């Protein structure tokens, strides 16, 4: 490892610039050590075979064409066959070995990246677009593989080949060898000049590619909205801008990378021309060995390609390191919200949930202001109020997606920060307005509530959720696939699957976010009946946008601008007047038509 580090320093520059690459090798070189040793050994064999093909030119010229030694023709021809046979097999084995290592490494790093993403808190997903996350998982691991392959191939194949061929050149003519190396300083200077520009352009190219993924993802997920509102032209224009930016940056990367070619070709041309003049003059005027000269020229020509690749090494590795740095940005990210070192497992069968003078803000914008409320054990508590009042934030704080800026959220009198995050969330079930289902079977989606549930328990949960009949009517029953996001099911069916999932969880705290909105009357009736079973024996929070759904709640908290402005049951709040009665009056106009529609469909 120290040898490898030393060679990297000599190729790339100061050690402080090697952090991501050295770390990458430390983490991934050891598991594949012996396979890398084998691949490097095969590369050395191939490099020696290449050098041998140049060295044997001397005997071809001197023994066959000048001395006309017929007895050596078949010997030399056989030697050439052996040299290229060995080189072919060595190249094959090294290539296959590196490919298998690379594939294993990409899978390993992608698993690590995915685990790192899953460890993050909600704030991480609010900061990063979906396209950015997908790019980091799918492409950054490949960039890490490219970086390691570049180093191994440059140190193994290209460097060993170059050293072997330079050895042949030195043996044949030390003077010409020294003169040929004069091209190195200007080549190195020219490459270093390009590095900073390549680093900046490569990162911009990666980030712009993430925008393309985001646009495609949004287009597919929101295709109904796209089609309904005729948004194709707007999305097409945004996609054209993103692809145009990628094209522009890719062209710039190509131009920067290609700038090394005229430099190396010109310097190489001068070197070869000088060698031809110098060697030819020695042969003509001093009877120098022509076989040695042609062997030297062959080695020089063969050395040109690996030398050119090594000259471009800094440019190529810098581009790959952009992805490696982005990968480690995710792997090193510590979630802002995590369990305290002395946190304990949450263990309770009933839950009294309280907010004690809680302040909370998203950034600088305050959302909750000294909020205090209590949900007694096994009660139904409704949160009502205008949009932006902070109702959804209450849910987020109960689940500990965020921590309060001040005050505390309590369960049975204990600050929830005293519990481990995982154990706390095992005691909470959630049913949202926008139900999310995974692309799997009906049974698998219900079992997400409790992965160790038996088939009988899954079936019982489906019956309690009024989902059993429509599930059995589907081809495959509980084994039927729901499609991506539950796309094979209606809105009401998705809601009942989500309720079955929550029932199976058997959690003492239940969070309902207006689970019956946007449904027809029959579906709403079925779901309300299922919710009645689900809420029994649990502390239930309900976010209600339609006040008619919460009139039976034990306590209704009326929120406005992050504060509780009223509390009580429906009758008390209606008698009191205020914001609740005002909101009720505003919605009354919609209740009569809905009631008539319900009667018509009943």
State the pLDDT at residue 281: 67
Domain residue spans of the chain: 7-331, 353-601
State the pLDDT at residue 240: 81
Task: Give the pair of three-digit tokens for residue 173.
Answer: 């003519």
575 contacts: CB under 8 Å, gap ≥ 6: none
CATH topology of domain 7-331: ABC transporter transmembrane region fold (1.20.1560)
Tell how strand 555-560 and strand 539-543 pair up.
unpaired
- Measured distance CA(471)–CA(468) in Å, rounded: 5
Tell how strand 406-411 and strand 414-415 pair up.
antiparallel
Question: In terms of Cα–Cα distance, which of 455, 425, 432 is closest to 443?
Answer: 455
The predicted-structure confidence for 440-466, as pLDDT tens digits, reads as follows 899 999 999 888 999 999 999 999 888
The average pLDDT across 172-188 equals: 66
Please tell me the pTM assigned to this model.
Answer: 0.76
Q: Is the sign of the CA dihedral 551, 552, 553, 556 positive or negative?
A: positive
The predicted-structure confidence for 323-357, as pLDDT tens digits, reads as follows 888 888 888 888 888 888 999 999 999 999 999 99
The number of residues making up the chain comes to 602
Q: What is the dihedral of CA 320, 326, 331, 334, to 10 degrees?
A: 160
- Measured distance CA(581)–CA(575) in Å, rounded: 8
State the pLDDT at residue 602: 45
Q: What is the 3-state secondary structure (H, E, C) of 443-456?
A: HHHHHCCCCCCCHH
Residue 229 scores a pLDDT above 80: no
* Percent of residues, the chain, with pLDDT higher than 90: 25
State the pLDDT at residue 350: 92
The predicted-structure confidence for 527-567, as pLDDT tens digits, reads as follows 788 888 888 889 999 987 777 678 888 999 999 989 999 99
CB 165 within 8 A of CB 54: yes
Tell how strand 365-375 and strand 353-362 pair up.
antiparallel
The average pLDDT across 143-163 equals: 84
Instruction: Using the CB atoms, write b or e for 257-270: b if 16+ within 10 Å.
Output: bebbeebbeebbee
The predicted-structure confidence for 242-300, as pLDDT tens digits, reads as follows 777 777 766 766 665 555 556 556 666 666 676 667 667 676 666 777 888 788 888 87
- Measured distance CA(412)–CA(352) in Å, rounded: 5
More confident residue, 229 or 352: 352
More confident residue, 515 or 161: 161
CATH topology of domain 353-601: Rossmann fold (3.40.50)
CB 567 within 8 A of CB 555: yes
Would 7-331 and 353-601 be classified into the same CATH topology? no
Please list the residues that pair with 358 across neighbouring strands: 371
């Amino acid at each position: 490892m120290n040898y490898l580090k030393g060679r990297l320093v000599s190729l790339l520059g100061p050690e402080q610039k090697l952090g991501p690459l050295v770390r990458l090798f430390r983490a991934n070189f050891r598991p594949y050590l012996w396979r890398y040793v084998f691949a490097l050994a095969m590369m050395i064999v191939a490099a020696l075979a290449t050098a041998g093909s140049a060295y044997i030119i001397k005997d071809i010229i001197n023994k066959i064409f000048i001395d006309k030694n017929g007895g050596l023709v078949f010997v030399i021809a056989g030697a050439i066959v052996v040299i290229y046979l060995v080189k072919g097999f060595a190249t094959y084995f090294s290539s296959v070995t590196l490919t298998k290592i690379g594939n294993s490494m990409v899978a390993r790093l992608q698993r690590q990246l995915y685990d790192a993403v899953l460890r993050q808190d909600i704030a991480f997903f609010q900061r990063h677009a979906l396209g950015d996350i997908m790019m980091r998982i799918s492409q950054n691991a490949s960039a890490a593989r490219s970086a390691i392959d570049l180093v191994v191939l440059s140190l193994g194949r290209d460097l060993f080949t170059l050293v072997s061929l330079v050895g042949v050149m030195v043996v044949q003519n030390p003077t010409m060898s020294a003169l040929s190396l004069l091209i190195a300083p200007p080549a190195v200077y020219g490459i270093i000049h390009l590095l900073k520009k390549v680093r900046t352009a490569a990162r911009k190219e990666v980030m712009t590619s993430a925008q393309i993924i985001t646009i495609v993802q949004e287009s597919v997920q929101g295709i109904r909205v796209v089609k309904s509102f005729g948004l194709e032209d707007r999305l097409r224009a945004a996609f054209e801008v993103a692809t145009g930016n990628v094209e522009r940056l890719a062209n710039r990367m190509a131009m920067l990378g290609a700038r090394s070619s005229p430099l190396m070709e010109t310097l190489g041309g001068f070197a070869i021309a000088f060698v031809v003049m110098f060697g030819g003059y020695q042969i003509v005027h001093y009877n120098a060995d022509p076989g040695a000269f042609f062997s030297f020229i062959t080695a020089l020509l063969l050395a040109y390609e690996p030398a050119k690749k090594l000259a471009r090494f800094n440019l190529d590795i810098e581009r790959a390191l952009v992805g490696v740095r982005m990968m480690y940005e995710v792997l090193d990210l510590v979630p802002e919200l995590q369990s305290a070192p002395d946190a304990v497992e949450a263990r309770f069968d009933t839950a009294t949930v309280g907010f004690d003078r809680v302040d909370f803000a998203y950034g600088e914008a305050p959302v909750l202001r000294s909020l205090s409320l209590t949900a007694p054990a096994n009660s139904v508590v409704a949160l009502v109020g205008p949009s932006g009042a902070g109702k959804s934030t209450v849910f987020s704080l109960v689940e500990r997606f965020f921590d309060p800026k001040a005050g505390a959220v309590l369960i049975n009198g204990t600050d929830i920060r005293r519990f481990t995050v995982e154990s706390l969330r095992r005691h909470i079930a959630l049913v949202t307005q926008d139900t999310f289902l995974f692309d799997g079977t009906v049974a698998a989606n219900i079992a997400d509530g409790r992965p160790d549930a038996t088939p009988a328990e899954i079936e019982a949960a489906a019956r309690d959720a009024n989902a059993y009949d429509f599930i059995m009517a589907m081809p495959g029953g509980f084994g039927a696939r729901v499609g991506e996001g539950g796309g094979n099911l209606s809105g009401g069916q998705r809601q009942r699957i989500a309720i079955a999932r929550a029932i199976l969880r058997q959690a003492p705290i239940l969070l309902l976010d207006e689970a019956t909105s946007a449904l027809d009357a029959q579906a709403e009736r079925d779901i309300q009946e299922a919710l009645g079973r689900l809420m029994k024996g649990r502390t239930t929070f309900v976010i209600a946008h339609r006040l008619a759904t919460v009139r039976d709640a034990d306590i209704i908290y009326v929120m406005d601008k992050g504060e509780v402005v009223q509390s009580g049951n429906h009758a008390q709040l209606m008698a009191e007047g205020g914001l609740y009665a005002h909101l009720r009056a505003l919605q009354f106009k919609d209740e009569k038509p809905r009631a008539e529609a319900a009667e018509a469909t009943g």
